[in-house]
Copies of this chain bind each other. A is one copy, B any other.
Amino acid sequence: MPSTDTAKTSPDTAKAESRRELNKAATRRAIADAALVLLRSRGAGGFTVEDIAAEAGVSRRTFFNYFTGVDAALASLADRFLDNVLEQFRLRPADEPVLESARVALLELADPMTAAPIAELFSLTNSSQALGRCELEAWEHCTEQIIAAARERLGEGANELALRAMAGSIIACGKAAMGVWFEERGADLSPDSLAVFRQHLVTAVGLLATGFNAPATA
């Protein structure tokens, strides 16, 4: 597998994308994808690490070189898509209020290309109590990354408490919107279902921005 003829000895970007790194990333991805295949075909808890390794074409031991367990492998899938939210956040202008940036970034979640895999993952993992925690971890991971990105934007003087509370609250709104939407529409990914999801996101973050005043009791 040659290709990537660009750059041989040059430090193309600051971040070294060496061949080994790329290979490792590909292997990691292959394992995670294999886990998803089995999750789809056999359901939560219907397969073992050995099955995943076989599906991915690696040894059982190699699986554990990349992930600490099945949960982590599936969580990496959620991360992959939740990372879109983070990317969107980084793209916002630096002088925009953090809350507004986060609001826009969250709306990215309602994009069909992003929502589809996440919704499927949720529908598949919700059946198992044990796998539900891998979602928890994915949200937590996303929260931490938003905190890091916001801290980077605001500089050293950032108020750590405010940062954490805000990021946590925003993600809580995302969780709430997704949870309610999921209970209402299942894994329905039709445009109008997505529109509902998007509306829930807007509503939830709107409530957050107003300090949950009027509509809480309505």
A binding-site residues for B, Cβ under 8 Å: 68, 97-99, 130, 133, 136-137, 140, 154, 157-169, 171-173, 175-177, 179-180, 183, 200, 203-204, 207-212, 215-218
Query: Within the complex, what minimum Cβ distance (angstroms) separates A182 from chain B?
Result: 11
Report yes or no: B161 in contact with A180, Cβ–Cβ below 8 A: yes
Counting every copy of the chain, the complex holds 2
Inside 8 A of A136's CB, which chain B residues have their CB? 133, 136-137, 140
User: Bound state CA distance, A173 and B97, in angstroms?
Assistant: 19
The answer on a CB contact under 8 Å between A173 and B165 is yes
Contact (Cβ within 8 A) B169 A208: yes
Docked Cα-Cα span, A4 to B217, in Å, equals 42
A203: B residues at CB distance < 8 A: 161-162
Residues of the B chain whose Cβ atoms lie less than 8 Å from the Cβ of A168? 169, 172-173, 175-176
| Nearest-Cβ distance from residue A157 to partner chain B, whole angstroms | 8
Task: Tell me whether A165 and B137 are in contact (CB under 8 A).
Answer: no
Among candidates B137, B165, B216, residue contacting A97 with C-beta atoms closer than 8 Å: B216
Docked Cα-Cα span, A216 to B167, in Å, equals 11
Q: Which residue on chain B has the smallest CB distance to residue A153?
A: B217
A92 to chain B, nearest CB (A): 14
- By a CB distance below 8 angstroms, the chain B residues around A160 are 180, 183
For the complex, what is the distance from the CA of A160 to the CA of B181, rounded to whole Å?
A: 10
Among B99, B164, B207, B208, contact of A179 (Cβ-Cβ < 8 Å): B164
Contact, CB under 8 Å: A204 / B161: yes
Partner of A211, one of B154, B210, B215: B210
Which B residue's beta carbon lies closest to that of A205? B165
CB-defined A-B contacts under 8 Å, sample of 16: A99-B211, A99-B216, A133-B137, A159-B218, A161-B177, A161-B204, A162-B203, A162-B207, A164-B180, A165-B176, A166-B207, A166-B216, A167-B172, A169-B208, A169-B212, A211-B211
Asked if B165 and A177 make an inter-chain contact with CB atoms under 8 angstroms apart, the answer reads: yes
